[in-house]
Amino acid sequence: MPWFLYLALRQLFPAGRRFPFFTAISVMGVALGVTLLVVVMSVMGGFGFEIRRMIVETEGEVQVKSALPIDNWSELIAKIERVPGVAAATPYATGAVMVLHEGKPAYPMMRGLDLASVDRVVNLAHYVRVGSLDDLDDDSVILSSELARSMGIVVGESLEIYSPLMVERLRGDEVFLPREVKVVGILEIGHQQLDSSTVYCTLRLAQDLYGLTSSVHGINVRAKAGVGEDELAARINAAGLPRGVRAFSWMDSFEAFLWVLNLEKSMIFFLLLFIVIVAAFSVTSSLLISVVRKTKEIGLLGALGARPVAIAACFCSQGLLIGIIGTALGIGFGFLALAVRNDVVMTLARLTQRDEALRRFYQFSNLPAHTAASDVVTIIVLTILISLLAGLIPAWRAARLKPVEAFRND
């Protein structure tokens, strides 16, 4: 081991019973900054990851859409399923409706599913908490959990569905009665928006309510494992879709939202990085104090034949070691905090009696977290680099110190 690294280690962690107070303070400053960065980046990443999971789970990797209803969708699905990389495709119809139960209205989105093919694309059965997707028919619906809870409706009860088509028919003096349907299941995806405002029904029922006859609003496409969504959307578009029909990857469909999400994440990273920079200033301050306290020892090292650059390396190494240890501890603390994040959030919510509000207004039923390897690498590299820079000023000062001047201060 080079002498300057050996001495740096011994100065940071002196032998004997002395507690390395300066080291501990400096390391904890860096560690706390890194902890915050890891936790916040992971939670921000978790939002993106959860949104991707929910979109892909409920809509497939690719959506084929058109401004107008799509006719002859069976032929189109057959064509799409012949595209390499496509695992399956299923049609859907969607739109806003009003539902009424015991005089209590709600205005959810309706989603009509083709029961013959939906399970090959969308894994909704996995999210059905009460009842079964198998019980769904043209006279029944499955409700999202928050919608059922807010309306106070349970499986087996009935509700009425009113569609915007009724207004159109009324203009033609035609009476279009609401459809009374039975609730056969409760579904919970984990996304507050989807869970609070979706009615799942058969494609036939949705087509009737929207007067689509045999048309659909779009087609959801599931990709084979390992096939990228952008690549698959490009392949489907290249396969020759009817005029006005186009395939979008889920990222295209939610491009603006994902951009905002990424921007938020980048801004928060940039702001939190200042915590590490502040911690680095404390490292610089500690090391500068150390240089002043050890003036004579630095002079001695010069008298023993140590080159100025090696003396500088001794103090630079201390900044680097503080950075490495602080980063390692911060990563550890960060993952620990992530492991107990839901308990902490729920405890805080309960203590402030806001647990119901949290469940109702928060985007997810659990605080999501997804730690991207690239985020961790960026945090590690930047923190260690900043810590190394923090050691440069004290190192430069130590290297400039001449032994004669150091001894003269005696």
Partner 1 sequence: MTEGVSREVMRAEGIRKSYPSGDRRIDVLTGVDLSIREGESVAIRGESGAGKSTLLNILAGLDASDAGRLYWGEEAIETRAATLRRNRYLGMVFQAFYLIPELNALDNVLMPCRIGDGLDAAARKRASDLLSKVGLSERSHHLPSQLSGGERQRVAVARALVNEPRLLLADEPTGNLDERTGEAVIDVLLGLCASTRTALILVTHNVAHAAKTDRVLLLRAGQLHHV
Q: Which residues bind partner 1 (CB under 8 A)?
A: 3, 6-7, 10-11, 14-16, 296-297, 299-307, 310, 402-404, 407, 410
Residue with tokens 């409700």: 143
Q: Which residues of 290-317 are buried (b: 16+ CB within 10 A; e: fewer)?
A: bbeebbebbbebbeeebebebbbbbbbb
Give me the least distance between CB of 27 and partner 1, in Å please. Answer: 17
- In the complex with partner 1, which residue's Cβ is closer, 265 or 294? 294
Give me the least distance between CB of 399 and partner 1, in Å please. Answer: 12
Alpha-carbon span 106 to 151, nearest angstrom: 8
**Cα distances (Å, whole numbers) of residue 296 to 160, 301, 302, 305, 404:** 88, 9, 10, 14, 10
Give me the least distance between CB of 394 and partner 1, in Å please. Answer: 17
- In the complex with partner 1, which residue's Cβ is closer, 85 or 302? 302
Q: Are 114 and 200 in contact (CB under 8 A)?
A: no
Give me the least distance between CB of 302 and partner 1, in Å please. Answer: 7
- In the complex with partner 1, which residue's Cβ is closer, 261 or 310? 310
- In the complex with partner 1, which residue's Cβ is closer, 126 or 307? 307
Give me the least distance between CB of 365 and partner 1, in Å please. Answer: 53
H helix or E strand, kind and range, residue 89: strand 86-96
Give me the least distance between CB of 269 and partner 1, in Å please. Answer: 37
- In the complex with partner 1, which residue's Cβ is closer, 178 or 403? 403
Question: For 172-307, where are the alpha helices, taking DSSP H only?
Answer: 192-196, 203-210, 229-238, 250-253, 255-293, 295-303
Degrees to nearest 5, angle at CA 209 with 208 and 214:
35
Q: What contacts 115, CB < 8 A, 6 or more positions away?
A: 133, 136, 202, 203
Neighbours of 258 (CB within 10 A): 17
Antiparallel, parallel or unpaired: β 128-131 and 179-187: antiparallel
- The amino acid sitting at 90 is T
- In the complex with partner 1, which residue's Cβ is closer, 181 or 314? 314
Give me the least distance between CB of 274 and partner 1, in Å please. Answer: 33
- In the complex with partner 1, which residue's Cβ is closer, 10 or 400? 10
